[in-house]
């Protein structure tokens, strides 16, 4: 089997791998991205759309933000609903006073691919990496690639993480015990802001994506089959949990996509070693309850690009160790807020004493967020921060 050689082999063409590839090319480092899916699948997969200010600054500062600056929407508020009413939290005027930029992730991915190819980068789509050994990536049925370093940006089920854990790197895990039915609808936003609804039947969420597409979430039992949820059932349940009888109807439309998301989180104790380093979901999977996944991927990719450039220039791993030392606390900080957000949105099931106590605490948190400026500033700083 012939082998191609490059400076850095990047496995995975998600936000982490694509940002990393663009930044490495800008630093004059030869790299290639290997992606198991075809280009249409990569560019068409609808995912998160909330970009925090730091991620936007990184993308803007590196010439990767033309699309999101032209078409992204600035969001500065979110609202909460429950049987105790509704309130809006204008987080853009709290804490550090910063907004989100809402820009569908699939559009960002398309932008990043176009930018990478314009820079002269190479992506091999439809290529499955089977094994990583001492900088060599063995490719199923194709040409292997060897790099001075390998960046595993291929998600929590990818070969990058599997290789690192097979060599003894441990993982800290948490199952939130919660699942969502994630619904993408061809419907204009129904609320003026991102909406979080607490209901005895479970959480419901409303997240605008574009002027004509809205993401909804419905808490559902673990193991739920999305095929069991018809459009009528989805809109009926959303109306119930979003309390449309009290606050007004939702703007309905065709359901474009529905899937179950099980809320789980994990973090590897190390971001890499030797010639293999991870970024994005490969390094740590975070629940979507606080919209941190894509933002962590961008921030980690920038840090890893800088560290790899220094390591290649100086021939030692000290820059990579510094990168890991800076990034791991940041990852855990995001996980802590995601956990806090999850307990705010999801109350325990049942009617025993423990469940009633848990739900009472849930509503006490919500009331503190409604009334206490210190809690509002905490929320704003962590909601928009990385």
293-314 helix and 53-61 helix, angle to the nearest 10 degrees:
40
357 is a catalytic site residue:
no
Q: Which of 100, 206, 258, 292 is catalytic?
A: 292
75 is a catalytic site residue:
yes
How far is 304 from 310, CA to CA, in rounded Å?
Answer: 10
Closest CA to 149 of 22, 29, 36, 267: 29
Q: Which of 91, 116, 196, 216 is catalytic?
A: 196
- For residue 349, give both structure tokens: 């099931």
93 is a catalytic site residue:
no
Q: Which of 15, 75, 100, 116 is catalytic?
A: 75
149 is a catalytic site residue:
no
Buried residues in 218-244 as b, exposed as e (16+ CB within 10 A): bbbeeebeeeebeeeebbebbebbbbe
Q: Which of 104, 189, 288, 319 is catalytic?
A: 288
196 is a catalytic site residue:
yes
Adjacent-strand bridge partners of 269:
none
In terms of DSSP bridges, do strands 129-133 and 50-51 run parallel, antiparallel, or are they unpaired?
unpaired
Q: Which residue numbers are catalytic?
A: 75, 196, 288, 292, 383
């Amino acid at each position: 089997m012939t082998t191609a050689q490059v400076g850095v082999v990047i496995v995975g063409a998600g936000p982490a791998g694509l940002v990393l590839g663009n930044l490495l090319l800008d630093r004059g480092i030869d790299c290639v991205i290997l992606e198991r899916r075809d280009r249409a699948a990569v560019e068409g997969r609808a995912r998160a759309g909330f970009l925090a200010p730091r991620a936007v600054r990184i993308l803007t500062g590196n010439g990767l933000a033309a699309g999101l600056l032209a078409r992204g929407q600035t969001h500065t508020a979110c609202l909460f609903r429950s049987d105790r009413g509704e309130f809006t939290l204008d987080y853009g005027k709290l804490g550090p006073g910063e907004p989100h930029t809402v820009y569908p992730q699939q559009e960002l991915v398309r932008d990043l691919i176009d930018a990478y190819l314009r820079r002269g980068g190479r992506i091999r789509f439809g290529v499955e990496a089977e094994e990583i050994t001492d900088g060599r990536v063995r490719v199923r049925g194709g040409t292997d690639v060897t790099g001075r370093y390998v960046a595993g940006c291929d998600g929590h089920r990818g070969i990058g993480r599997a290789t690192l854990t097979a060599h003894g790197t441990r993982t800290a895990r948490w199952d939130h015990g919660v699942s969502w039915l994630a619904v993408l609808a061809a419907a204009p936003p129904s609320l003026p802001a991102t909406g979080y609804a607490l209901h005895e039947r479970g959480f419901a969420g409303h997240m605008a994506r574009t002027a004509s597409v809205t993401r909804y979430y419905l808490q559902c039992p673990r193991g739920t089959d999305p095929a069991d949820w018809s459009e009528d059932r989805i809109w009926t349940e959303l109306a119930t949990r979003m309390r449309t009888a009290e606050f007004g109807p939702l703007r309905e439309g065709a359901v474009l996509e529905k899937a179950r998301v099980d809320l789980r989180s994990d973090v590897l104790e190390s971001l890499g070693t030797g010639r293999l380093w991870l970024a994005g979901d490969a390094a740590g999977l975070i629940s979507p309850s606080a919209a941190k996944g894509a933002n962590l991927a961008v921030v980690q990719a920038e840090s890893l690009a800088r560290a790899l450039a220094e390591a290649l220039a100086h021939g030692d791993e000290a820059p990579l160790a510094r990168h890991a030392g800076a990034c791991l606390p940041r990852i855990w900080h995001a996980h802590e807020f995601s956990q806090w957000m999850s307990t705010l949105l999801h109350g325990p099931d049942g009617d025993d004493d423990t469940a009633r106590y848990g739900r009472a605490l849930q509503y006490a948190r919500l009331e503190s967020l409604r009334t206490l400026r210190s809690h509002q500033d905490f929320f704003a700083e962590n909601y928009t921060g990385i």
